[in-house]
Amino acid sequence: TSKKSYQTALARNRKQQPKVSKRIQRNEHPRFLHYMQIGREEKVKRLKAEMQKLLGEEEKYVGTIKALENSLIQLRATRQDLQAKSNRRQMLYSTSKQMFDRVVKSFPPTSRLQQILSSIAAQALEIAKEEHLLNQIDQVIVTLRR
């Protein structure tokens, strides 16, 4: 359950406490003929027990909310620590990649590498031609629909 649900329960509990307190007061000190009510003392005991239950629940809710807040603070600190480590990892990876690229560029390309690079360039040119053709076809379709 979330902190918000505990806060809602705590607010509901605190709202009920004055009502129960008034009922206890009214039943402990009745006015007029109400003092003749049957089982008034038992009702007062029952209301006091209900009030103690409400107070106990309030303490439980407050403790749970404080525990959740402490847990949230710890999780935020952990997240910041992990974010810093992740940033450091990214920086090290970037540096490693730059160093690798520098080393690879320092050697003359082999004939196989030149063949692969020329093949990549040729394929990119073919893809560009096909994309241009597709764009022209799309334009023709648009003009035909008008």
CA distance 52 to 48: 6
pTM score over 0.75: no
pLDDT value at position 71? 92
pLDDT surpasses 80 at 23: yes
- For the stretch 115-139, pLDDT in tens is 999 999 999 999 999 999 999 999 9
CA distance 132 to 135: 5
CA distance 135 to 129: 10
pLDDT value at position 35? 64
Q: Please compute the mean of the pLDDT values over residues 36-57 and round it to a whole number.
A: 85
